[in-house]
Amino acid sequence: MLSGLLLEVAVHHVQDVRGAQDGGADRLALVAPSETAGLSPDVAAASAVLRATDLPVRVMLRLNDSTTTTGGEFTRLVGLAEEYLSLGAEGVVFGFLDADLEIDVETCEALARALPAVPWTFHRAIDSALDPRRAWRQVKHLPGLTAVRSGGSPQGLAHGYDDLLALATADPDVARLLMPAGGLLAEHVPWFARAGVTQFHVGVQVRPGQSYKSYVDAGFVRSWRTLLDSAPAR
């Protein structure tokens, strides 16, 4: 991290680890492969990834493809998180909305407090919130939160880039937590960096053919590493 900018790479299998690590990733985000929504990986898959790397790994906590969860799922999520952490995960990824499409502060706080001192990322559920500015006001006070993965719109940065950049530019707390994701392009990076954003997430961008059927490629990761290292700091 010559520039101080963190590069997080999404991985789905142990076969993705080498490419991410050799290419210069700072952190891995582990999620089960899915055509629709990223869910929690099974414990065996998580164990294989965690054994294969010394990089920090954050593992997805999500048991259904909606933005909500249930009381029964909550207990399972805590148990899964404890298993991932015992295997060596550095942190976790989760995020929930309520029936009114507002941040489910109560559930998020409860899960964070059930995992004391564990850093976590709020995933792109925030992009489906009814009022993005209100959602950011709610999430930035959640305990243990160190990153918010967002594309500024349910359709990602292709639609949400301008609004998300404006939010980060206007609010240092947003800039501190924001991890742009969901179609990040190389040309976005300098502008986010100037706004004070320090962490970035890539997924399909570092796979040949931009296909999740391909494994993470070290050369593609290295190109993002070089881009971040040359980006202007705020």
pLDDT number for residue 38? 80
Name the token pair of 40.
């929690």
Predicted TM-score (pTM) of this structure: 0.93
What type of residue sits at position 177? L
Torsion sign across C-alpha atoms 211, 183, 41, 18: positive
Burial letters 35-62, b for 16+ CB under 10 A, else e: eebbbbbeeebbbebbebbebbbbbbbb
pLDDT number for residue 3? 57
pLDDT number for residue 64? 78
pLDDT number for residue 219? 97
pLDDT number for residue 40? 87
Dump strand ranges (E) for 71-208. 91-94, 120-122, 145-150, 178-180, 199-202
The domains located in the chain, with CATH, are 6-229 (3.20.20.380)
Measure the CA–CA gap between 153 and 203, rounded to whole angstroms: 17
pLDDT number for residue 36? 55
What is the pLDDT tens value at each position of the chain, 234 positions in all? 455 899 999 999 999 999 999 999 999 999 997 655 688 899 999 999 999 999 999 999 987 777 777 777 888 999 999 999 999 999 999 999 988 899 999 999 999 999 999 999 999 999 999 999 999 999 999 999 999 999 999 999 999 999 999 999 999 999 999 999 999 999 999 999 999 999 999 999 999 999 888 999 999 999 999 999 998 776
